[in-house]
Amino acid sequence: MDKGSFKKVLIIRLSALGDTIHTLPLAAALKKQYPDIQLDWIVEDKASKFIINNPLIDNSYELKRNKQGKIKDKLRNFIEYILTIRKIRKEKYDIVIDTQQLLKSAVILGLSGGKRKITLDNGREFSGFFANEIIKTGRKQFDINFHVVKRTLEIAKYLGCKDIEPKFVLPDLSKEYSQYIKEIINNLDKSKKTIILAPVTTWENKHWTIEGWSCIINEFKNEYNIIITAAETEKKYIDTILKNIPDKNKIINLAGLTTLSDLVLIYKHADIIISPDSGSLHIGWAIQSPYIVSLFFATSAKRTAPYGDKYYSVSADLQCSPCMKKKCRKKDNLNMCRTKIQPQKIINIVKKVLQQN
C-alpha cells in the first residue's frame, strides 16, 4: 500500500475534551510527515475549542451535542448534522479516520463518502462495521495498560509517519482571555511559586476526598500562590473543600469564573498542577509547561496519565482499581480507592518538585 497517496484527510473525534486533546498528536504526526495534505476534523461543540483555528487543522466541522431539550432545538441540530454530512461528502476525502470508535462516529464514517475509511480494531458499538480498513493492534480499546495516545498513534504509524512521539499543538487563544483572569495572573505574588488545584471532573468515582484537598491547601497556602479552577456547576464542591480552610482569603478561587481559553492562560503560569483524571489535567499536559501531579482512582494512569519527566501519577493500589466505572460497585468499603491515597504522599511529591525547580 502506498501510504502517501492521499491529499485530503478527515479525522472524526467528536468528544470529550480530554479525548480530543489525546487525538491531537495524530494530527501533528500526519502534518509533519505530509505537510501538504489537507487535514480536517469533525468535532462536537463541547470539545471544539482546541480544534477550531488550530494551525494543524485546515478546516473543521462543529456539531451541536444533542442534549435533553426542546424538540425544535433537536430538530435544528439534526438539520445541521445533515448539512454537515453533505459538506463532508462534497470534499471527497481520500481518507476518513474514526478515532472515537462509537456508533455515532462510525455512522459519520459510513456517510462520509471517503475512499478509505479507517479505524482501529476492537472498537465499541460495532464501530468497525462502516470501515474498509481496520488496523490490527491486538489490544482492546480500553486496555488499562496501554496509553490511549499511543493507541491513536498506531494510525499514524499505519499511514507511514516516521515520527510518532506525542506532540501537542494548540490554537492561539490569547485574544479570548478574559480581562479579569489576565489581571489575576498579572497580580500574582511573583516571589512565590504557583500551585493550581483542579479537583473536580465529570465522574464522581474519579474524585479524591474533600479532606485530601483540604490538607494540600492547608500545607501550602502560606508559602505558595494557590489557585483553584472548576466549572460553574462544580462551585458547591469547591465551597465544601474551602469550609475546612482557615484564612481562605489566601486562596484564589476561580470556580465558575473561567472559560477553557482562560484555563490555558492560567495553566501556562502554573509551576505545578494537581488534578484527578480530568479535562483540566489533559489541558495542562497539552500546554507542556507546568509540572503535573495526577491522581487516579477508578481510571487507569497507564492509559490516560500524562507521561514524561515532568509528570507524576499516583494510583490507588487496590485489586479493584482501576474499575473504569463511574460509580463504585462495592457494597463493602465503598469508594475505598478514593481514601487509599494519603495527602502526605502528594505533599511530598509537590515539595520535591517545587524545591528542585
Cα 217 to its chain centre, rounded Å, is: 25
- Using one digit for the tens of pLDDT, what is the confidence trace for 306-330? 999 999 999 988 888 898 888 888 8
- Rounded to whole angstroms, the maximal C-alpha distance in the chain is 65
CATH code, 175-356: 3.40.50.2000
- The residue type of 334 is L
Question: How many C-beta neighbours within 10 Å does residue 115 have?
Answer: 13
* Exposure class string for 117-133: b at 16+ Cβ within 10 A, else e: bbbbbbbeeebbebbee
The residues, ordered by sequence, that sit 6+ positions from 141 with a Cβ below 8 Å of its Cβ are 101, 120, 122, 123, 124, 151
pTM beyond 0.85 = yes
Over its length of 357 residues, how does the chain's per-residue pLDDT go in tens digits?
A: 445 589 999 999 998 899 999 999 999 999 999 999 999 999 999 899 999 999 999 999 999 876 666 778 888 888 999 999 999 999 999 999 999 999 999 999 999 999 999 999 998 888 899 999 999 999 989 899 999 999 999 999 999 999 999 999 999 999 999 999 999 999 999 999 999 999 999 888 899 999 999 999 999 999 999 999 999 999 999 999 999 899 989 999 999 999 999 999 999 999 999 999 999 999 999 999 899 999 999 999 999 999 999 999 999 888 888 988 888 888 777 788 888 899 999 999 999 999 988
Looking at the chain, the domain(s) classified CATH 3.40.50.2000 span 8-158, 175-356
Chain-centroid distance, C-alpha 301: 13
pLDDT tens by residue, 19-31 = 999 999 999 999 9
Superfamily of domain 8-158: Glycogen Phosphorylase B; (3.40.50.2000)
Q: Cα separation of 13 and 89, whole Å?
A: 17
